[in-house]
Amino acid sequence: MKKVLSVFLAIAMCLLVAVPAFAANTTSDLKFGADGKFKIMQLNDTQDMILKDVAEVKLIEAAIAQEEPDLLVFNGDQLTDFFPGATEDGLKKCLSNLFDIIDSKDIPFILTFGNHDHDYEDFFTLEEQMAFYKQYENCIVPDNGCDPGTYNVPIMSSKGDKIAFNIYMMDTNNKRADSDLLTGYEGVRPNQVEWYKQTSDELKAANGGKVVPSLLFQHIPVKETYQFLDEVSFSEAGDDAVFSIDEFKWFKLNDKAIGGVLGEVPCSEPLESHTGQYQAWVEKGDIVGAWFGHDHVNSFYGVTDDGIMMGYNGGTGFSSYGRGGDRSVRIFEIDEKDPANYDTYEVTFNEKVLDIPFYFLDLFSPAIVTTLGKILKFIIPGFLWDQILGA
């Protein structure tokens, strides 16, 4: 009998070790101000290089001075996508060009990772990258998630006596080996979805059984962003349409989109796959906004059929392609009395620093595919194109 009990206990212990246990972060030093307001600034695709991105720094400093945010959120791709001969020390130098300045602003910041941050994992792991950020006094990333870039940060009420709001940061991993050119990104993994569900439940329990309204930030968009797009025929593709080289089709924003610009087809998780992430948001009912980066020339946002607001900030950095002087940060103004109905808007380089219509690196934008599509549209008669595609 004792032998059987010993075996049972051994198996139980193995199961406990095999199943990771995570506890939601239910307290924080962040809280709404005495006026009941809290302001978040999203930055993404800074992709800093050895040479300091002076234009990017000017944009960020001007935006911080104007907006006075309570929290900075970096939404991935802090590391550059082009660094021949990169070393760990070289990458740290790239990051310190910006984050030395960020830390001097005395504003808390958090971050997650993008696909280009994952590109360097062979010699600069995500754990090492996060350790680099945490050396800064103003980095407040907690150790409560299921991986270095996936965690939650609550915002307490103005009185500090309860959770009033929450932020999820999700790491969307890297590109799949068998992926399409544009829509072949892995997205979140099953363990991350389960972590989100568990955390949502724990926050709800800590809030007296009430759902905690939350913003979610991640680098790669979910495929449900395509709810804001309609496929149009070749002959219907006007100046506001973009061309998908993966599907050889034209798309434009539909009436679900509230505002912003469609500059390229969303480079999302694979359209044919099913991560279950969006469905988990619908199930739990706490996500009042999901916000992405990655597609530097997209800034559109809207509300899905399930009532979830989703959208982009355009790229912030000038070390990669973007929207000329419309590179931006995105602001979220949250009211403690009605946190689900927040205000959001962009602050652009053109508005705050200098009016520039175009930047050299924009020549390498995926949006150039649309230009090529327009050239084809000029060359090939519309009726013939539509007949070929069966539109």
CA separation, residue 90 to residues 79, 82, 96, 124 (Å):
11, 12, 10, 11
Judged by average pLDDT, the poorest of 61-70, 176-185, 194-203, 266-275 is 176-185
Calculate mean pLDDT across residues 71-92: 96
pLDDT(49) > 90: yes
The CB density around residue 212, as the number of other CB atoms within 10 Å, is 25
pLDDT at 385: 55
Distance from C-alpha of 16 to C-alpha of 86, rounded to nearest angstrom: 40
Percentage of the chain surpassing pLDDT 70?
A: 88
> For 213, what's the count of Cα atoms within 13 Å in the CB-facing half-sphere?
16
180 compared with 113, residue with greater pLDDT: 113
List, in sequence order, every beta strand (DSSP E) within the chain: 37-43, 71-74, 109-111, 151-156, 163-170, 214-218, 229-232, 242-244, 249-253, 257-259, 287-292, 301-303, 309-312, 328-335, 343-348
pLDDT at 233: 85
pLDDT at 8: 39
pLDDT(376) > 50: yes
330 strand-pairing partners = 42, 346
151 strand-pairing partners = 169
Average pLDDT value over all residues in the chain: 89
pLDDT at 18: 40
Contacting residues for 102 by C-beta, under 8 A, at least 6 apart: 60, 72, 109, 136, 138
Hunting for tokens 């740290």 — which residue is that?
92
One-letter amino acid at 177 equals A
Domains of the chain: 17-389 (3.60.21.10)
Percentage of the chain surpassing pLDDT 90?
A: 74
287 strand-pairing partners = 214
Calculate mean pLDDT across residues 152-162: 97
- What are the φ and ψ backbone dihedral angles of 31, each rounded to 5 degrees? -155, 160
pLDDT(54) > 60: yes
Hunting for tokens 């990333």 — which residue is that?
141
pLDDT(249) > 80: yes
Alpha helix ranges (H) inside the chain: 2-18, 54-67, 88-104, 115-118, 126-134, 190-206, 277-284, 349-352, 368-379, 382-389
The CB density around residue 62, as the number of other CB atoms within 10 Å, is 16
59 compared with 3, residue with greater pLDDT: 59
Rg (C-alpha) for the chain, rounded Å, is 22
Q: Give the pTM.
A: 0.90
Calculate the CA dihedral of residues 272, 229, 277, 117 and round it to 10 degrees: 90
State the pLDDT confidence band at 354, using cuts at 50, 70 and 90.
confident
Say if residues 223 and 297 touch (Cβ distance below 8 Å).
no
What would the pLDDT profile of 300-344 be if each residue is shown by its tens digit?
999 999 999 999 999 999 999 999 999 999 999 999 999 999 999
271 compared with 81, residue with greater pLDDT: 81
pLDDT at 381: 64
Helix axes of 88-104 and 54-67: crossing angle, nearest 10 degrees: 30
* Residue 114 Cα to chain centre, angstroms: 8
Distance from C-alpha of 72 to C-alpha of 107, rounded to nearest angstrom: 7
Distance from C-alpha of 276 to C-alpha of 278, rounded to nearest angstrom: 6
> For 126, what's the count of Cα atoms within 13 Å in the CB-facing half-sphere?
20
